[in-house]
């Protein structure tokens, strides 16, 4: 019984002070606000890792999982603009500008400097957001940033009825659990 209690305490201690967190079910949303057409695309398959000990942040999304609510628009987006057969993923990798020391229930503003890659093009970017340590030890992350399609060599459609905004407003939300060692 004594050994069982010691094992339980060691495992509990390890999970409370875990430094690496991951998700496979984060949410990524983009909003396109063109003058004649506004729509969103959503995926709930954002995958990512935050390692506070190594100061590493890495998130990626299979662009084929984005859905706008209209199948034809989704196919055009994947085939004609994102070219997902050639460039299936968007990825952001970076480092926190400072390591947050979050207490249970506490939220803190964070900034990450890194590289965002989409459509085969990488660019330096700083992304700001909110990181919260939940009472169960998980982390909650929310962040917003904009991308310009031209910066990533993604062409804009020429048809008026199918207009796409040059600026895409991106937001992510994720609950990250301590990574199992």
Cβ-count burial 123-146 (b if 16+ within 10 Å, e if not): eebebebebbbeeeebbebebebe
Q: What structural domains and CATH numbers belong to the chain?
A: 19-178 (2.40.128.110)
Return the pLDDT at 1. Answer: 47
The CA distance from 126 to 86, in Å, is 26
Which one, of 68, 63, 113, 56, lies nearest residue 90 by Cα?
63
Return the pLDDT at 11. Answer: 43
Averaged over successive runs of 10 residues, the pLDDT of the chain (181 residues) comes to 41 54 97 88 97 96 97 92 96 94 90 97 97 94 96 79 80 95 62
Return the pLDDT at 86. Answer: 97
Return the pLDDT at 18. Answer: 63
Return the pLDDT at 9. Answer: 39
The CA distance from 94 to 56, in Å, is 6
With a CB cutoff of 8 Å and minimum separation 6, the contacts of 157 are: 76, 80, 81, 163, 164
Return the pLDDT at 16. Answer: 43
Return the pLDDT at 14. Answer: 39
């Amino acid at each position: 019984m004594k050994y069982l209690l010691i094992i339980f305490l060691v495992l509990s201690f390890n999970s409370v002070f875990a430094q690496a967190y991951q998700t496979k079910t984060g949410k990524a949303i983009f909003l396109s606000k063109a003058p004649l057409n506004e729509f969103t695309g959503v995926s709930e398959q954002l995958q990512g890792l935050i390692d506070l000990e190594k100061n590493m942040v890495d998130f990626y999304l299979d662009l084929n999982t984005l859905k706008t609510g209209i199948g034809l628009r989704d196919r055009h987006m994947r085939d004609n603009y994102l070219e997902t057969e050639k460039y299936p993923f968007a990825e952001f990798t970076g480092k926190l500008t400072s390591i947050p020391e979050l207490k249970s229930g506490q939220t803190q503003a964070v900034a990450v400097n890194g590289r965002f890659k989409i459509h085969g093009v990488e660019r330096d970017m700083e992304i700001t957001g909110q990181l919260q340590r939940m009472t169960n030890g998980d982390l909650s992350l929310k962040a917003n940033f904009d991308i310009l399609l031209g910066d990533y060599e993604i062409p804009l459609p020429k048809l008026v009825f199918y207009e796409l905004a040059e600026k895409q407003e991106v937001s992510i939300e994720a609950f990250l659990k301590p990574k199992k060692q």
